[in-house]
Structure 1
Amino acid sequence: MNAVASMGHGPLPLPPGSVPSRGTEPQEGPAAEGIAALANVGWQILLTMGLATIAPGVIALVWPGETLRVVGVLFGVYLLVTGVFLLALRIRFR
């Protein structure tokens, strides 16, 4: 055993017959940079979505009648568009 491991700093010795795990060390290089960039974008998207949902919530609380009307119209448009696309797909792939 070396002096560093005996002082409590560094890896502990493995028991006899055990195999050291591979791939658990921190990775560096392009893949690690890509993952870090993806994680950075991920929290920014969550923050943006959270802030974007506050405004419609406030509007719904301030103007409940108008909000209900708009939601009803948007739901009707959604059903109409979905129905047209499903009908078109059914005709196309008979």
Structure 2
Amino acid sequence: MTVPRGSAGGTGPERTPDGAVYGRAGDPEDMLSGLGSSWTWIMGSALTTLVPGIIVLVWPDESLHVLAVIIGLYLLVTAAFRFVGAFAPEAQGERVARLLVAVLFALAGVLCLRHPLQTIAALSLIVGIVWLGSGMLAAYVAIAGKGLPHRGAAFGAAALGIVAGIVVLALPAQSAVALTRLLGLWLVLLGVVELAVAFAWRAALRRSREETLSGPTATV
């Protein structure tokens, strides 16, 4: 008998309608893997960056304390998204680098929420280091990752993160309003690029499913 290649029962990972891979029910690692490989999860991570950027641009006159809270929450939520993304099947070879990015975001988020560190210089330093470090690690993942369907978009996001970190560190803002506008602008730019990565991943998953369904048959 003949069956479509890749559709044999009991072999290979299964996918949800949006392309996420999932494995054994109740297995935490498989659940994280399924979430991390979903394009909607990647889009959620992008919105986590885009929305705070829009907020701080719309209300640039808020106090430094409010800005620190917004940035701190952004870093902590992003850390959660990056942690889950590290368990995606395509990230197995670069899992350590991705987990380091998640830890970097989490530590920076905690620092931003600490009252003694809520100064313009400290906030600029924290965000600049996070963007520079995460951009470098993301660039490594984009270069070293084998078979990444969205390599170009991922590398573009990494490069933008590196540039953002360098700009924030090299051009420290002299006021809370200036810092707010600078960080808001970069958050919006990074969020837009990450959205492009999410849609590129969705297109890659769609092509993969179409190729699987219309691929050659194998004789069993």
Asked whether the two chains share a fold, i.e. TM above 0.5, the reply is no
Query: 1 or 2, which has the higher strand percentage?
Result: 2
Q: When the two structures are superposed, what TM-score results if normalisation uses the length of structure 1?
A: 0.37
Q: When the two structures are superposed, what TM-score results if normalisation uses the length of structure 2?
A: 0.19
Higher relative contact order (CA 8 A, sep 6+): 2
Q: Which structure's CA Rg is the greater one? A: 1
